[in-house]
Amino acid sequence: MIPLAEFLTTFFRIGLMSFGGPAAQIGVMHRELVEERRWLSEDGFLSALSFCMMLPGPEAMQLATYCGWRLRGVPGGIVAGLLFVLPGALTILVLSALYARFGTASLTAALFIGVKATVTVVVLQALFRLAKKALGRWDRRALALAAFVVLTTDFLPFPAVVLLAALYGALTAPKAAPTGAQEAPSAAHLPRTLAIWGSLWAGPLLALWALGQNRLLEIGIFFSKLAVVTFGGAYAVLTYMSQEVVEGHGWLTPEAMLDGLGLAETTPGPLILVTEFVGFMAATPLGSWGGFAGALVTLWVTFIPCFLWIFAGAPYVEWVSGRPRLSSALHAITAAVVGVIASLSWWFFVHVFFTETHRLTLGPARAILPQWSSLDPLPLALAALAAVLLFLARRGLVSTLALTAVSGLILQSALG
């Protein structure tokens, strides 16, 4: 068994270095666990990654949990998952408190101009990378286009898009015999795991209901629902979440939502930690400690389900890997996620580069469009700077965010 001290040190280092989104985080884990320490085989790591991509929630955090489970059982999985999340969660908590106190100040607003512009470029980068890998077939391209249209026009909700894509993939899977030879776990494993982690998930929500904490309960229920439908990672669910927290619940303004994503981009850990910022801001009306309570509730119902999915499904990984219908459903979901990210890119484009928008309604379809005359040249210039730094100069995300934030502050001050 891996020595405990080395295990803790390694996963703590992974958590501290987990900047740059899931692709970078998965790369760090691969280097640490497969290449340098050889704790996992290449095939075992890739099988784990494929499994985590099928689950709702942040795939990189779930991959860390799976690797910890594989190395040291359930306790190892809990520790690995926590070490991956905690550095970023603590940082976001501090930044959320500062934002709630100073977020409307002119200095903070000027700094965030560059952050918002850079985030837009990062989302576009994720879109093109995923599209290159996922849209090799005509039907996959059609799925991506359909997802973009129905989400941008608010014709279907995000969960329906995911379910329809999975159904299409399963029904169109090539006919082939299963290749997995691994026996399934005992019949008692799944109900036992669901009972333990389901109770941990639901317990605080029941306590909030009993105490009459309606706002915190509403936050907990919303993010619990989100934890079930977040297929495709944080970028994929941000469209759905942004629409609900901004337009449905009115917890945040579009500008604050973008600011929260910018904060999450600057910290280690999964990008889905933006939910912690949303929970903090949504609970600030409850008083001085309301934001901290909202953040804690949000973290709990966001990440406890991740442990549930991993510990319930990890023993089945080798057994399901040879099932062609599951593989085909996953590929179809990935194709739809490309359209989801394209819809998110449009949402960012409209709210970052234009100062005014309007809503176009055609029957059941509704789309947010920019007032083209309200184009703001400052964020456009900062986005161009971010693209140069990221793609031509090969600068890291954190340094790019710092440079564009300072540039935005200087340019805003110069323009008066």
Torsion angle defined by CA atoms of residues 93, 94, 95 and 96, in that order, rounded to the nearest 10 degrees: 50
Report d(CA 67, CA 76) in Å as an integer.
8
Where are any strands of DSSP class E within 280-393? Answer: 357-362, 365-370
The whole-number pLDDT of residue 74 equals: 93
CA distance 245 to 262: 16
Report, as an integer, the average pLDDT of 158-173.
83
Mean pLDDT of the chain: 82
Please compute the mean of the pLDDT values over residues 60-77 and round it to a whole number: 93
**Distance between CA atoms of residues 371 and 253, nearest Å:** 18
171 exposed, middle or buried (CB, 10 Å; 0-12, 13-18, 19+)?
A: exposed
Has residue 399 got a pLDDT over 90? no
Q: Place 321 in a pLDDT band, splitting at 50, 70 and 90.
A: low
Residue for token digits 């085989």? 41
Cα–Cα separations (whole angstroms), residue 273 to 93, 103, 157, 388:
10, 18, 22, 27
Model pLDDT for residues 96-120, shown as the tens digit of each residue:
888 888 765 455 566 677 877 887 7
Residue 300, both tokens = 């709990």
Task: Give the per-residue pLDDT at 307.
Answer: 95
Per residue in 231-285, pLDDT tens? 655 666 676 788 788 888 889 888 788 788 777 776 777 778 889 999 999 999 8
Distance in angstroms (rounded) separating the CA atoms of residues 262 and 398: 11
pLDDT bin (cut points 50, 70, 90) of residue 339 is confident
What is the per-residue pLDDT for 156? 81
Q: Which helix (H) or strand (E) holds 31?
A: none
C-beta of residue 62 within 8 angstroms of C-beta of residue 232? no
Residue owning tokens 């919303």: 222
pLDDT band at 318 (very low <50, low <70, confident <90, very high): low
